[in-house]
Structure 1
Amino acid sequence: MRILVDGDSCPVLEITSKIAKKNNIELLVFTDLNHQHQLGYGEIITVDQGFQSVDMELYNEIKADDIIITSDYGLAALALSAQTAVLSFSGREFKNSNINRLLAQRHRQHKERRRTARHTSHKKRTEKDDKRFKNKLLEIIQRFK
């Protein structure tokens, strides 16, 4: 078991690094040249910037029983097909039972934004979000042991 993180704009790197270290789990964080991260534990893999470059590099590294951390629905769908656990930055676990609905919802929202030219902002991250993420990651680790 390893933890692979889509590191571009990832708000849970510190939490993930601490949990990986405490549980002696290999941690790989994938990022492009535009993002600079500091980790107390784990390895940062930097790739060239480009459309989906981080996602494709991460996907090519996946092995069964890895834990993937991303909020990218497309990458989540690919990772699920490789027999991994996939967790979003908000603590939502992507599963085969919910990924198709989430992809369809993302598509509808994208079409609506294009039609109305309206941009919606994300809610500010809270301590509750961090706690939900941490608890879910620990739950997945226990399940994989």
Structure 2
Amino acid sequence: MTPNTRLLVDADACPVREEILRVAARLGLEVIFVSNGSRPIRPPQQAMVRIVIVTDGADKADDWIAEEARPTDVCLTADIPLAKRCLDKTAFCLNFKGHPWTQNNIGSALAGRAVSQHLRELGMGGGPPPMAGADKSRFLNALDAMAHAALRVARAGG
């Protein structure tokens, strides 16, 4: 049996839920929103959408996504270490601003994250800029392209 392409969403801080649902509905993809329950998620009125609430605790949602990820899935997250774990399982990975995570760029992203974290600990620097309309548009286009790539992998037998 050919594995289905799924969208695995790190849902607690996801600013692009509507865009994800739009692409999933158009392509007939299953969506799994994974949350630790810290923020309420309104269940969408759409077939093939599940919400998984994991036990409370640091990184439990990340653990669930990383354990579930397979080569035909698209993992959607802003969490760079989670993206690395999904890439290690050969899943596709995209951040919420439409930038794909790949084996070629994840190492430098992890290094940049470590530097940023150190600067924040020293009181220097802030968080990422807020989400803009262009970010949502880029995300929508990138998710569409990545979902099609994952579907090709699934059709080829995963």
TM-score (normalizing by structure 1): 0.93
Query: Within 2, Cα distance between the matches of 1:6 and 1:121?
Result: 18
Q: Which runs of 4+ in 1 moved over 3 A?
A: none
1:57 equivalent to 2:64? Answer yes
Q: Which residue of 2 aligns with 1:12?
A: 16
Report the alpha carbon displacement of residue 119 of structure 1 after superposing the two structures with TM: 5.0
More deviation in 45-54 or 31-40? 31-40
Report the alpha carbon displacement of residue 98 of structure 1 after superposing the two structures with TM: 0.4
Between the two proteins, the alignment pairs up a number of residues equal to 144
| Partner secondary structure for residue 86 of structure 1 | strand
1:85 equivalent to 2:89? Answer no
Q: Which residue of 1 aligns with 2:108?
A: 101
Q: Which residue of 2 aligns with 1:127?
A: 133
1:141 equivalent to 2:147? Answer yes
Equivalent residues of 2:119, 2:125 under 8 A apart: no
AA aligned to 1:45 is V
Structure number with greater CO (CA < 8 Å, separation at least 6) is 2
Listed one character per residue, the Cα deviations across residues 52-75 of structure 1 (whole Å, up to 9, x for unaligned) are 011001112112210000010000
Distance 1:108 1:121, change over 3 A: closer
Equivalent residues of 2:116, 2:125 under 8 A apart: no
Equivalent residues of 2:34, 2:61 under 8 A apart: yes
Q: Which residue of 1 aligns with 2:155?
A: none
The unaligned stretches of length 5 or more in structure 1 are: none
Listed one character per residue, the Cα deviations across residues 97-140 of structure 1 (whole Å, up to 9, x for unaligned) are 0000010111111112212x235143222211110000000111
AA aligned to 1:18 is R
User: How well do the aligned residues superpose, as a CA RMSD in angstroms?
Assistant: 1.2
AA aligned to 2:120 is R
TM-score (normalizing by structure 2): 0.86
